Amino acid sequence: MALKFCDTPSTRPNPVIAFDTERISGLSTLRLAMQQPPSTTPLSQTHNRYPDTLYLELAATPVLSDGTDIEQIDLYLSIDFHQQWQPINTGRVKFGFKGGELKIHLKNGKMPSELRQLSGWVQLSADETPQSSIECQVFSQGEAESPVWKWQGKTGMSVLQGSLPQTKLGTVQVMGQPWGIESVFTVSPGDVYLTSVEGLWSHTISPNQLAVLERKLVLFLLESKLQPYLSRVVWHCDQHPGQSKSEPPNIEEQTVGIDTGETEECPELADVIQRVITAETDNFLELAKIAGLNPLVDFSGAKLLGVNLTGVDLSGANLRGVYLRGADLSDTDLSGADLQGATFGGADLSGAYLSDADLSHGDFHRASLALANLSSANLSSANLSEVNFSSANLSDANLTNANLTQADLHRASLMLANLSGTTWLNSRVEEARFSKNSGLSEEWKLDLKQRGAIFEG
């Protein structure tokens, strides 16, 4: 992450700004000097730990008052997301990021929400094909002194890939002296995604073994390589002349650069891989135990493609953003689980217990939820198109803005369900039962009755 100042035209008689930049061992330091006597001398140190996977630049344009003091700072972001190989033991893994967080801590400065500009859907331009792009979503959060930008790809998308050129983050209000900016880009387990694994196990292992081993690798990478941050900049401003100066933290001392060409030797990881591969069971919970993983907390955002979780108890689990396409979850207990933003395309959840589960923003396209219990579940903004809900219990469920296009709701119970903004295009509702539903207009009520729905009370 490189921090630089941009001198732009202003109505004020600002002084000329000059630069003195030095790069040492992957770090960069920058001093801003003014040809008039300065009241402050900003100094920055920056560090990109995995520049081939995530490279970030932060540029700033100062606004001066009375020709000397910095009153405001406009921050601009440039960011590149890519994939990268990491050698491990006898093989290697290729990984990228599905998201992450850019956190900024301001000393004697504020950036209230009304001064933040980067938010909503943004396009990442792809290097391979200049005309193509990948869409991702950016959420602005946090307090004025500690703003946060959360990055998130589309539901089900593998990794963020491409570049976002110089884009304005927002404006910092300088409240006093000395002032400073510290920014870090971090990732969580749910943000790290393996796109390829070579030389660590046979391609003939089961989907359950693969899911557990890939998750173990993700947590290994996160703990050994990707913490405490991926990119960091400490922007420090010296005090007024005559006062003592406090030096910025030495980033080089805190974190060593990462050589991704060097093989990471980990006998403990090799032992776990061998024990999972040779296990005499394919039960998901037992395999997770062998790998030292807790199924209730360690699989948030995990890729569980085609796994067999039949009859497994995952009640209350944190499975936010999990990828369960084609999985067998029949009769699985997911009551009270956090499955927000999860992908269930083509999965079998027939007879599953999903009462009180958070399924909002999930993608269930062509999944089967026949006979499933979804009472009081949150399905707001979920994609439920072509889902089989026959004889399912959806009583008191939240279906606000859910898409039920071509869904099969034959004999399903939707009593007391919130149906505000729900899409019913070509859905099958014969013998489906409705009662005291909020958000359902008289027009839709009549339409559903004509299609065979039953309204009670």
Evaluate if residue 98 carries a pLDDT over 60: yes
3-state DSSP call for residue 189?
Answer: helix
Higher-confidence residue of 33 and 359: namely 359
- Mean pLDDT, residues 220-241 taken together: 81
Which band of pLDDT confidence, cut at 50, 70 and 90, is reported for residue 224?
very high
- Mean pLDDT, residues 353-374 taken together: 98
Higher-confidence residue of 77 and 10: namely 77
Q: Is 285 exposed, middle or buried (0-12, 13-18, 19+ CB in 10 A)?
A: middle
Evaluate if residue 70 carries a pLDDT over 90: no
Evaluate if residue 13 carries a pLDDT over 70: no
Instruction: Using a pLDDT cut of 70, give the percent of the chain over it.
Output: 81
- Spans of all domains in the chain: 2-187+228-242, 304-457
The answer, yes or no, to whether the previous bond of 228 is cis (omega within 30 of 0) is yes
pLDDT tens string 14-54: 333 333 333 333 344 343 433 333 444 556 677 899 899 99
* AA identity, residue 285: L
Evaluate if residue 130 carries a pLDDT over 80: no
Of the ranges 6-10, 245-249, 321-325, the best mean pLDDT one:
321-325
| pLDDT at residue 158, as a whole number | 73
How many other C-beta atoms can be found within 10 angstroms of the C-beta atom of residue 153? Answer: 23
3-state per-residue secondary structure call for 99-133: EEEEEEEEECEECCHHHECCCEEEEEECCCCCCCE
Evaluate if residue 4 carries a pLDDT over 80: no
Evaluate if residue 398 carries a pLDDT over 60: yes
Positive or negative, the Cα torsion across 54, 257, 182, 22? negative
Q: Identify the weakest region by mean pLDDT among 128-137, 233-242, 434-443.
A: 233-242
Q: Identify the weakest region by mean pLDDT among 17-31, 103-117, 127-141, 316-330.
A: 17-31
Residue 323's beta-bridge partner residues?
A: 303, 343
Residue from 12, 427, 93, 440 nearest 263 by CA:
93
- Mean pLDDT, residues 184-208 taken together: 95
pLDDT tens string 290-316: 999 999 999 999 999 999 999 999 999
Higher-confidence residue of 67 and 237: namely 237
Residue 127 contacts residue 142 (beta carbons within 8 Å): no
| pLDDT at residue 103, as a whole number | 98
Q: Which residues contact 349 (CB under 8 A, 6 or more apart)?
A: 329, 330, 332, 367, 368, 369, 372
Q: Identify the weakest region by mean pLDDT among 6-10, 195-199, 397-401, 427-431.
A: 6-10
| pLDDT at residue 26, as a whole number | 37
Q: Identify the weakest region by mean pLDDT among 127-141, 205-219, 313-327, 422-436.
A: 127-141
- Mean pLDDT, residues 428-453 taken together: 96
3-state DSSP call for residue 83?
Answer: coil
| pLDDT at residue 23, as a whole number | 35
| pLDDT at residue 271, as a whole number | 97
Higher-confidence residue of 209 and 129: namely 209
Q: Which fold has domain 304-457?
A: Pectate Lyase C-like (2.160.20)
| pLDDT at residue 127, as a whole number | 63
pLDDT tens string 248-264: 444 444 444 455 556 67
| pLDDT at residue 278, as a whole number | 97
Residue 429 contacts residue 451 (beta carbons within 8 Å): yes
Higher-confidence residue of 87 and 131: namely 87
Instruction: Using a pLDDT cut of 90, give the percent of the chain over it.
Output: 72
* Whole-number Å distance between alpha carbons of 285 and 272: 15
- Mean pLDDT, residues 216-242 taken together: 82
3-state DSSP call for residue 312?
Answer: coil
3-state DSSP call for residue 219?
Answer: helix
| pLDDT at residue 262, as a whole number | 64
Which band of pLDDT confidence, cut at 50, 70 and 90, is reported for residue 353?
very high
Residue from 221, 220, 174, 178 nearest 61 by CA:
174
- Mean pLDDT, residues 406-435 taken together: 97
Residue carrying structure tokens 């290729």: 94
- Eight-class DSSP state of 292: T
- Mean pLDDT, residues 427-441 taken together: 96
What's the mean per-residue pLDDT of the chain? 85
| pLDDT at residue 328, as a whole number | 98
Which band of pLDDT confidence, cut at 50, 70 and 90, is reported for residue 406?
very high
Residue from 62, 59, 60, 75 nearest 14 by CA:
62
Helices (H), 278-334: 284-290
3-state DSSP call for residue 405?
Answer: coil
| pLDDT at residue 62, as a whole number | 82
How many other C-beta atoms can be found within 10 angstroms of the C-beta atom of residue 278? Answer: 8
